[in-house]
Amino acid sequence: MATRLVQINMKARDDAALGGFWAQALGWGVSSEGPGVTNLEPEGFVYPDPVAVCVDLIVSAEPKTVKNRVHVDLATTSTEHQAELVARLKDLGATAADVGQGDVPWTVLSDPEGNEFCVLDPRPIYQGTGPVAAVVVDCADPRAMARFWSEATDWTLHEVTDQGARLRSAKGVGPYLEFIRTPDVKSGWNRVHLDVRPYPGDDLEAEAARLRSLGATPIDLGQSVPWRVLADPEGNEFCLLTPS
């Protein structure tokens, strides 16, 4: 058994407005599965497919107070494209952000609700990923996180060091999942988290048990939901969705 990274879940004060920003930023389509939920995926996309990690925006009244531990890096094809994309994103409502990055070749921005993301300088490794180069998770131990997530999913480990690790779908398509060492300590519930889904025919409870055996811990939301909420070994919440 294995799971697949299928989407990221992002809390939003105004899911429709923030969804509109990200739809234009990524060039993706917008839909809604219900009130307070905005879903983004590429036009013509057949869910789920590792060619893209979709975005679900969920309305939440809780304010953003700290730097997100999960963010996206956007890909560019040239320095001109990078500059054009940054300018376009600022026109859409993004603002420059300082997260202590110093003098770096990429650009750090915040979306209209303050969620940080990066517009990368052109890099060969990210050619062909689509607009999202990578989903990036801050962590204390990239090696341990890579070990857990490569066993939790069917994604292949491409690189691991003491400073960072990189995984990608075994099919060699779509964005990377990256773990970057940071000194920041996790504080509170992550406003952006990963959603994983088992394959059709797999058993949800059996998969939840397998993830717990790898080091995940269950989280009780105090309400009945069809999915399971877990935390990885560094306490980052993620949802195990029903098989599909």
Banded model confidence at residue 204, pLDDT cuts 50, 70, 90: very high
User: Would you put residue 38 in left (φ > 0), alpha (ψ -120 to 50) or beta?
Assistant: beta
Burial of residue 64, with CB atoms counted within 10 A of its CB: 0-12 exposed, 13-18 middle, 19 or more buried: middle
pLDDT (average), residues 14-21: 98
| Average confidence (pLDDT) over 116-140 | 97
State the maximum Cα–Cα separation within the chain, in Å, rounded to a whole number: 50
Per-residue confidence band for 40, with pLDDT thresholds at 50, 70 and 90: very high
Contact 195, 242 (CB under 8 A): no
Q: What is the C-alpha separation between 224 and 104, in angstroms, rounded?
A: 45
CA–CA dist 216, 210 (Å, integer): 9
Residue 60 confidence class, pLDDT cut points 50, 70, 90: very high
Q: What pLDDT shows up at residue 98?
A: 94
Is 188 a residue whose pLDDT tops 90?
no
The answer to whether residues 176 and 168 touch, using CB atoms and an 8 Å cutoff, is yes
**Which tens digits make up the pLDDT trace of 86-100?**
999 999 999 999 999
CB-based burial of residue 2 (10 Å sphere; 0-12 exposed, 13-18 middle, 19+ buried)? middle
Average pLDDT over residues 122-139: 97
Question: Where are any strands of DSSP class E within the chain?
Answer: 3-12, 29-34, 37-41, 54-59, 70-74, 95-96, 107-110, 116-119, 132-139, 155-160, 164-169, 176-181, 192-198, 217-218, 228-231, 237-240
In this prediction, residue 223 has a pLDDT band, given cuts at 50, 70 and 90, of confident
Position 198 confidence tier, pLDDT thresholds 50, 70, 90: very high
The predicted model scores a pTM of 0.96
Please give the pLDDT value at position 155: 96
Q: What is the pLDDT of residue 224?
A: 82
What b/e string do you get for 105-123 counting C-beta neighbours within 10 Å, with b at 16 or more? ebbbbbbbbebbbbbbbee
Edge to edge, the sheet with strand 70-74 lists 95-96, 107-110, 116-119, 70-74, 132-139, 176-181, 164-169, 155-160
pLDDT digits (tens, 9 = 90+) for 145-179: 999 999 999 999 999 999 999 999 999 999 999 99
Whether 53 has a pLDDT exceeding 90, the answer reads: yes
What mean pLDDT comes out for the span 49-68? 96
- Using DSSP's 3-state secondary structure scheme, residue 15 falls into helix
What are the structure tokens assigned to 52, written together?
């893209």
Mean pLDDT of 127-137: 97
The pLDDT score that the predictor gives to residue 75 is 98
